């Protein structure tokens, strides 16, 4: 029974998440010959303040990156 855990920052639409589940399931069916009814896909949405990137919290990194982009 395959179990797939996808962790993303918040912001994906319901339609985008449905597409992820469909495509991940399709890949496991095609590549590993698994039955769709045996596949579990969990999407965890994590607040950017709880996700680190490049040595900083993602929300702080984005603020700084966006300010730098606006200055150029």
Write out pLDDT tens, residues 6-62. Answer: 999 999 999 999 999 999 999 999 999 999 999 999 999 999 999 998 899 999 988
Domains of the chain in sequence order? 3-71 (3.30.429.10)
What is the C-alpha radius of gyration for the chain, rounded to an integer number of angstroms? 17
Active site positions, annotated: 2
Let me know the angle formed at the C-alpha of 43 by 40 and 45, rounded to the nearest 5 degrees: 165
* pTM (2 d.p.): 0.79
């Amino acid at each position: 029974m395959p179990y797939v855990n996808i962790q993303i920052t918040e912001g994906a639409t319901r339609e985008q998440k449905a597409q992820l589940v469909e495509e991940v399931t399709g890949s496991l069916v095609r590549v590993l010959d698994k039955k769709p009814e045996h596949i579990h896909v969990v999407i965890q949405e994590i607040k950017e303040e709880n996700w680190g990137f490049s040595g900083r919290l993602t929300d702080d990194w984005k603020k700084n990156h966006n300010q730098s982009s606006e200055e150029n």
